[in-house]
Structure 1
Amino acid sequence: MRIRINSSAALWAATVAAALLATVGCASRGGSGASQPSAAPAATPAAPARAGAKTGLDAQGNVVDSSKVEAGSGRTVKGLNGYEGEITGNPTRNSRFNRLQIGMSARQVTDIAGQPTDQGAYVTGKAFIPFYFGGDRHRYEMTYKGQGRLVFAGGGMGDYSGGNLIWIIHNPNESGYR
């Protein structure tokens, strides 16, 4: 069997291949090897007003906006059944959240804190890992007006209504809606 290749098609294929190799080579090596100046670094987000300030918190560590609080901005604590979680913000004296413990199930939490003002679920990046069947594939969040937010790590496939408490966000100014 004999294959005939048109010279213009061969030239086009070689040009495309060279362009692809140059593009891949630049990305993997960080440059083309030519003596051209490197691109300017990407713009960084504006720094907080106070050095070390976390988004959503004021200078005393009180939560100002629960929806903007970053993970890692609170203190890490050990909870029930070996769970480790985080508590952000300063609890108020009469808060229903004071009796909660990291690791409690959603049912235990609602028995103590009552029904939330609003609630919802969202998936985490672990949900997109092929053949990952472990925990924390989704998060379940409950908001309580005037109290704060509670975040649960869910693990079971298809059950987006609960999990174990992993984050307590105290916020006496909470609107109660996600």
Structure 2
Amino acid sequence: MSSSRLALTLGAATLVLMGCSSISLEQPAPKADAAGGGNVRVVRSYDNSFDGEISGTPTPESRFAKVKIGMELEQVYKLIGEPDQLYNHTTGKNWIPFYFGADGQRIVTHYRGEGCLTYSAGGVFNGKKQLLRMDVDAAGQCYKP
């Protein structure tokens, strides 16, 4: 009985060591963007509270050039106007028992000729709808309700 327990312990230790050997300390390459074919950049929110993503680069005269990751939905509406289309959806976090975070739902807005803006839709204890992602995509491929 003790020899089988020893064999199981050694086998488990071997698996753990093999799993640790595959961990890389190198920075991952930028992700390819499905909508625009460009790269997705990770950027800090303007208040440094979280990381967001930007796909593509807005032109200096575009409405999206005025928007910053971390801005609230109402701020963006006042700054660049209301979107042409909007939809919201739940995320997988919505189904986690006792999850009270702000990312149980998302709001995706589409501005024709500009692209899409994705917001967290707030949560039980957090009513902020903050900009998480900007997709600069004039063709509108980013909007998929």
What TM-score, normalized by structure 2, do the two folds share?
0.68
1:171 matched to 2:117? The reply is no
1:78 matched to 2:57? The reply is no
Distance in 2 separating the partners of 1:149 and 1:54: 13
Distance in 2 separating the partners of 1:119 and 1:146: 15
Partner in structure 2 of residue 57 of structure 1: 36
Distance in 2 separating the partners of 1:89 and 1:142: 16
C-alpha distance after superposition, 1:53-79 (max 9, x if no partner):
542233xx2xxxxxxxxxxx5100011
**CA 1:54 to 1:120, structure 2 compared with 1: closer, same or farther past 3 Å?**
closer
Distance in 1 separating the partners of 2:68 and 2:32: 26
What TM-score, normalized by structure 1, do the two folds share?
0.56
Structure with more strand by fraction: 2
C-alpha distance after superposition, 1:106-142 (max 9, x if no partner):
0001111101000111000000001111120100111
Structure 2 unaligned spans of 5+: 1-30
One of 142, 145, 150 as aligned partner of 2:112: 145
Partner in structure 1 of residue 86 of structure 2: 119
Partner in structure 1 of residue 13 of structure 2: none
Is the CA contact (8 Å cut-off) linking 2:101 and 2:124 kept in structure 1?
no
Structure 1 unaligned spans of 5+: 1-51, 62-72
What SS does the corresponding residue of 2:116 show, helix, strand or coil?
A: strand
Q: CA RMSD in A?
A: 2.6
Q: CA deviation at 1:177?
A: 7.6
Partner in structure 2 of residue 89 of structure 1: 56
Distance in 2 separating the partners of 1:115 and 1:56: 22
Aligned residues: 113
Q: List structure 1 runs of 4+ shifted beyond 6 angstroms.
A: none
Q: CA deviation at 1:95?
A: 1.1
**CA 1:56 to 1:93, structure 2 compared with 1: closer, same or farther past 3 Å?**
same
**CA 1:57 to 1:151, structure 2 compared with 1: closer, same or farther past 3 Å?**
same
Higher CA-based Rg: 1
